[in-house]
Structure 1
C-alpha cells in the first residue's frame, strides 16, 4: 500500500514541477503528522497533500482529506515554518488523483 502512495506522490511532484513549482521536500515528518510534498510556487511555500482513489465508486480522492488530516498537516506545516525560518506566504493544496485524472486544488483549506 505504501508503494502506491509513493508512486502517486512522485507523479504529483512531476505534475507540480511541470506547472512551475520547485519541489523542496518529500514526506516531511513531524510528531504531528506528515506532509507529502513541500514546494515553492512563486512567492509562496505550498504544503501539498496527495490523495489517490482507483475509482470514484466510494468517493472522490479529495473527499478523503478529512478535518483531522487537515489539522495534522497544519500542525506539521507550523513546525516546518519555524524549523526552516520561513517568512513568506504559505498555502495548503491538495492533489487529488481519481483513476488517472489529476485535480490540483489550490488553497484547498486554510491554516489557522
Structure 2
C-alpha cells in the first residue's frame, strides 16, 4: 500500500508541475528536502516565489485533499521555505504558499487539478 500511495503522489506532483509550467510558472525546485521535511514544488512567477504542497487522492472518503494540510504541516512548510530562501539567497522576493489538489477518477484516466493560491500565510 505504501508503494501505491507513493506512486499516486509522484504522479500527482508530475501533473502539478506540468500544470504550473502551462500557466506560466518557472519551476525552481521539486522535492526540496532537508532534515526538517520536504517541499513538493518551488516555483517563481514575476517577483514571487511560490511554495506548493501537492495532495493527490482517488477518493474523498478521508476528506478533501486540502484538509490533510494541517496547521503543523503549514508551520513545517514555512520553516522549510525560510531555510530554502536563505540557502538560495533569494532576498528580494515576496513569498506565497499554495496547495494543489489532484483528484483522480476511479473509472477512467481523467483527473482534476485544483490550484488553491495563497492557501495559508506566515503570521
Aligned mates of 1:58, 1:6 — CA distance in 2: 20
- TM-score, normalised to structure 1, is 0.94
SS at match of 1:12: helix
* Structure number, greater radius of gyration: 2
Mapping of 1:30-41 within 5 angstroms? Answer: 30-41=34-45
Size of the aligned set, in residue pairs, is: 112
Deviation at 1:72, TM superposition (A): 0.8
Mapping of 1:3-14 within 5 angstroms? Answer: 3-14=7-18
RMSD between aligned residues: 1.0
Runs of 4+ in 1 over 3 A off after TM superposition: none
- Residue in structure 2 matched with residue 52 of structure 1 by the alignment: 56
- The unaligned stretches of length 5 or more in structure 1 are none
- Residue in structure 2 matched with residue 107 of structure 1 by the alignment: 118
Deviation at 1:58, TM superposition (A): 2.3
Is 1:23 equivalent to 2:34 in the alignment?
no
Aligned mates of 1:27, 1:20 — CA distance in 2: 20
Deviation at 1:3, TM superposition (A): 2.2
- Residue in structure 1 matched with residue 95 of structure 2 by the alignment: 90
Deviation at 1:93, TM superposition (A): 0.4
- TM-score, normalised to structure 2, is 0.86
CA contact 1:53–1:98 (8 Å) conserved in 2: yes
CA contact 1:95–1:103 (8 Å) conserved in 2: yes
Is 1:69 equivalent to 2:73 in the alignment?
yes
Aligned mates of 1:27, 1:5 — CA distance in 2: 11
Aligned mates of 1:24, 1:85 — CA distance in 2: 13
